[in-house]
Chains A and B, each alone.
Chain A
């Protein structure tokens, strides 16, 4: 046991006993893949939630990594005012820059041909 005051373990958060709640399961199919939502399990605590997740989403070796998160701990953001404001954000996207006509004008002005197979131009 460490002597420093900081080494004292914080009291575990009192999880309500006897209450089943949903836990969301995220799974990684193979190394390097993103974690994707798989589904959910009902459990009274993290230990059982992880156990159920393993049974439901890993028993066929179809996952290399699982995340199990209490549904109530997920912070949800779906506010369209924040995520989909009615403003032109095309300057933040490659598709927002269409210069075909300006390029054609530039070539015409300089007497150049259109280069072949230059995929960078739009």
Chain B
């Protein structure tokens, strides 16, 4: 999929960015996105009077480091994403609103996610209007090419070999504790297998930011990830 931005280059482009029009397409339909955003307004505000509510305000969200609004009480998991250097570029925003817990496992954002890609693109197009500095369109990170965190059903359908998972897990347990303790390093026990599989693929595709996990996940096959999910699901 290609992220594109004609709508903004027309509306917001400063001098010098005009050339981008030729190669850019729209993220989505911002007007339609304004309607989709109503699902979010219970917790999030955006615009000139926006303030933090149950969720942080979304002004300047594009290019903002995750968990970086002063004074907002983020979950431990979002603090960790901040410390790991995660930045809300368009691909991370897309992955997050598709399934918040797949990207940031312990997030307090209790929203089931927008499964329809068009809904996500439209709402992101809407939100993009509230981030300053649009002159970086389309070359910079906020508009980098997206990768889907959505996995093909055949990957999610793999039945994990828990016995193989037990061997593979021994490598995880050098850092992650088998009793679920989570000081400094997150707990990975007793996750729903689908969450586990999606999270590992997000590392494998380098969507999640942590270098150790990107390396560890990077060499695991789809079957091996399923095996680990099957093992950790039932670890007492």
Partners in one complex: no
Binding site for A on B (CB under 8 A): none
